[in-house]
């Protein structure tokens, strides 16, 4: 009977999975960058592409530190996330909404990577693979920073622009006389007190 696999075996297996995931992301990130309208978002994807190429190299160093051959194994998880991102890019959204959706797609990938690297850092430490752990931690920090950058772009304007693009087109198509039944007319909506009051309600 074959010997039971060890945590070390599982670790190497996960490294191969992640190596393939990073390679898939080096092909997907240029597409996200190309689809982005906001220049800061495009730049964020492009600079994370550069970092992602570094993640591939760093994983090669990790394999080397463990005297393991560099090998990838198809990562179904990231392939699914990338596929969903591709589907979104085929939708007919306004530019701001598309940017918001691209951020959502990018953050799904970052969170997948953060989960994977977080586990591998902890496993490497538990097994005393300190050099591997330090290398993996460096990448984990970059994934977290990329995720935070995307959050700051979303919360710093992209989401609101997308929300406003939608409400503007709704207001245009709506008969003004009907508006008071549902909400105050645009003039009184401009008053901070009224806005605050509704938000608190
Ligand atoms: Fe990465
Ligand atoms: Fe990443």
Per-residue pLDDT of the chain (201 residues; tens, 9 = 90+): 678 999 999 999 999 999 999 999 999 999 999 999 999 999 999 999 999 999 999 999 999 999 999 999 999 999 999 999 999 999 999 999 999 999 999 999 999 999 999 999 999 999 999 999 999 999 999 999 999 999 999 999 999 999 998 665 555 544 444 444 445 555 444 444 444 434 443
Tokens in use for 158? 């992209």
What residues have a C-beta under 5 A from ligand 2, the ion? Answer: 113, 143
Residue 186 near residue 192, CB atoms below 8 Å: no
Find the radius of gyration of the CA atoms of the chain: 23
CA 54 to chain centre: 17
Question: Which ligand is located closest to the Cα atom of residue 136?
Answer: 1
Distance 123 CA to ligand 2 centre (A): 20
pLDDT score at 2 = 75
Distances (CA, A) of 37 to 15, 44, 95, 168, 196: 34, 12, 6, 19, 32
What number of residues does the chain have? 201
Distance 126 CA to ligand 1 centre (A): 22
Question: Which ligand is located closest to the Cα atom of residue 139?
Answer: 1
Distance 83 CA to ligand 1 centre (A): 17
Distance 125 CA to ligand 1 centre (A): 20
């Amino acid at each position: 009977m074959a010997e039971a696999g060890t945590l070390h075996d599982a670790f190497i297996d996960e490294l191969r999975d992640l190596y393939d995931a990073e390679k898939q992301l080096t092909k997907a990130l240029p597409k996200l960058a190309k689809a982005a309208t906001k220049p800061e978002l495009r730049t964020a994807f492009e600079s994370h592409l550069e970092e992602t190429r570094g993640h591939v190299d760093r994983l090669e160093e990790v394999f080397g530190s463990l005297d393991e051959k560099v090998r990838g194994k198809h990562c179904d998880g990231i392939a699914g996330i990338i596929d969903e991102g591709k589907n979104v890019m085929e939708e007919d959204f306004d530019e701001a909404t598309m940017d918001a959706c691209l951020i959502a797609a990018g953050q799904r990938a970052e969170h997948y990577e953060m989960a994977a690297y977080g586990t591998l850092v902890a496993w490497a430490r538990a097994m005393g693979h300190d050099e591997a752990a330090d290398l993996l931690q460096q990448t984990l920090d970059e994934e977290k920073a990329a995720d935070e950058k995307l959050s700051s772009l979303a919360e710093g304007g992209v989401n609101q622009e997308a929300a406003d693009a939608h409400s503007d087109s709704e207001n245009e198509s709506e008969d003004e006389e009907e508006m008071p039944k549902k909400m105050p007319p645009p003039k009184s909506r401009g008053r901070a007190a009224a806005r605050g009051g509704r938000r608190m309600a």
